[in-house]
Each structure stands twice: as structure tokens, then as C-alpha cells.
Amino acid sequence: MLRRISLNTVLAVSLAAAPIPAMANDALIGGIIGGVIGGAISNNNKRSSSTKRTYTTSRPAISSAQREANRQSQIALNYFGFNSGTPDGVLGRNSRSAISAYQAHLGYSPTGQLTSFEQDFLISAYHRAQAGGPNTAQLIASNPQGVRGLLIIYRDEQMNGVGNGATAAIGGHYGLPSAVAAAVNEVAKSSDPSAEQLVQRHGFIQLADINGDGQTDYIIDTSVTGSAFWCNAQACTVRVFASTPDGYERNDFQAFNVTPAMFSCVRGTCTKTDNAPQMAAANLAPQAAQPTLPQTQLAGAPAVAAPALPVPSAQAVVIPRAAIIDPLSPNLWFRLT
């Protein structure tokens, strides 16, 4: 609207200036008209520029929960050897690069963006490694990939399988704590069934809270392996793993047909409370081998006036040298002189 008014004003001035006498200088008139038109255009541009609005785009705000999850991911990445920089909850260039390296290590697409599964697995693996204590340190020391090898171990365990190469023997945890899994592998080396078959065999691994700390304790009964390597004539090797704040402690016993009720544990120290299977076998053996007392001991006793009782034919008869047989006695009584 203002632009139209300004142009109309310029045109009116131009028309008004048209009948000026010839003595007016044409150049002067042209300059005046040009100045008026230029001023109008300049003022119009200023007005239009002052009415412009500027729009800026900003990233959506990150919630505190998401920022904390990002920070936990950065801590876990740094622990497993993927440098993400300072854990501040902001996934910048270093964090994206670390995420890509983590994804490539586990065989995922290196997008630099964590999926929910990848983030949950990363954080849970970090907390599990922290809680493992000495067992975690042992796994790291024995793994050629070091601390990054823990991710392969935990991934293979979650998939209920084993990896390949150097991590295969370490990765076979069968869903068990590392100390228990190591014992399973040890038993399997001296048994015909494989470790995978043993953990599925009924009675080989028994679960119970023996020490009452609210955690699962484990019993390995080698009697179900069918291998004579772990058994003798009366009992087989039994290993009880009791949970403690620092991990699992192993207790070795010799028993047969074990149940959790046969053991009592205080923290990591366990004792056997029921020896009935072994005691029964021990009590039967002496009774079977116990001989009957010979009755000939009476013959060696001091002489008495009463005659001795008849001796059954199945027993040995010891006749003293001073004994005299009475031929008139139908029962062959003995009397001492």
C-alpha cells in the first residue's frame, strides 16, 4: 500500500513539473524527479526490511533420562576400550566414532547410532564386568582381545552358543557364572558327554539358595556323567559353588545321590550335613564280616563240678588232656579228674 502511494506521489510531481516554462533547466528538473523517485524507493525498502521475520531451527531438548543413558553408554564405551571422550551425556563426534567401533566389533552395522538393544547390551555388559571382580580380571587376562573380548563372551552367552577362534573356549558359559562354567568344562574334558550335553543332563547341575543370601548357589554332581574318572566305589566328586559378594567360592566333597539339603553354607564356606548314603554302606560291611564267637572258650575256663553241655557236631571240640570219657554215659559226658 505504501509503495503504491509513493509511486502515485512521484507521478503527480512529474505531471506538475511538466508545464514549467522552458526557461527551467531540463537537467535540473530531471535531477529533482530522480531524487524524489530514489528517495521513495529507498524508504519503501527500509519499511519492508523492518517487517521481515527471522526463523531459527534448534535441536529438540534431551530429557534428563536420555542424557543419563547416553552418559552410561559413554562410560561403558570407555571401559571396553572405545574412546568416547568425557562422559557428559552428549553424543558428539568422539562418541559417534566410538559407537561405530563398538558396533563393528560385535558385527553390527557401524551407523554411529545405538539401537535400544545395542545400548542395553552395552550398559548391562559394563555392569556385569564390574560385578565380576576377580573372575572378570581372569577372563580379561586369558582373552587375546583383552577387555573387548568380554563383549564377545557376553554376546555368545546371550545367544546360548559359542564364538569361534580363540574366544570359543572362553565364551562357552552356558548361561552359568564363569566359575561354574569353568568347572563344567573341566568335568567335560574327562567325560564322554560334551559340556553342552552335560549342562542339559538332569541332576548334573542343581540350583538352590543354600547360604540364604538370596542368590543362586550351584551344585555339580559328577555321578551323572557316567565317567569313572570322578567316582570311586562309594562316592563321586561333588562341587558346591556358594555365592559371595566377591563371586562364587567352590567347595569339594565326595558323595552320592546328592541333594541341596545335604549341604549347609555360611557365605562361601559349605559343609556336608547328611552322610546317610555313605554311613549305611559303612555299617553293613562290619556286620557281614563279623565272625561268631567260638564256644570252645568255655572248655578252657576253670574246672567246675557240673559237666559241660553237649557240643553240637558243627563245632570243634577241645578235649583237655585230663578228660576221661565215661563209656556208660549215652550222651558222652565229659568230666575232669
Is 181 part of a structural domain of the chain? Answer: no
Based on the fold, state whether residues 82 and 126 are members of the same structural domain. Answer: yes
List Cβ neighbours of 154 (8 Å cut-off, separation of 6 or more).
Answer: 121, 125, 128
Is 127 part of a structural domain of the chain? Answer: yes
Q: Which domain holds residue 6?
A: 2-49
Helices 116-132 and 149-158, axial angle in degrees (round to 10):
110
Is 171 part of a structural domain of the chain? Answer: no
Q: Flag whether pLDDT at 333 surpasses 90.
A: no
Is 26 part of a structural domain of the chain? Answer: yes
How big is the CA angle at 34 (ends 32 and 39), to the nearest 5 degrees?
95
Contact by Cβ (8 Å): 177, 231: no
Is 221 part of a structural domain of the chain? Answer: yes
Is 9 part of a structural domain of the chain? Answer: yes
Is 23 part of a structural domain of the chain? Answer: yes
What's the residue count for the chain? 337
Based on the fold, state whether residues 92 and 124 are members of the same structural domain. Answer: yes
Is 301 part of a structural domain of the chain? Answer: no
Based on the fold, state whether residues 77 and 135 are members of the same structural domain. Answer: yes
Based on the fold, state whether residues 253 and 229 are members of the same structural domain. Answer: yes
pLDDT tens by residue, 128-166: 888 888 888 888 988 888 999 999 888 887 765 444 433
Share of residues in the chain with pLDDT > 90 (%): 26
The total number of structural domains in the chain stands at: 3
Calpha distance 269→251 (Å, rounded)? 7
pLDDT tens by residue, 102-136: 999 988 889 999 988 889 889 989 998 888 888 88
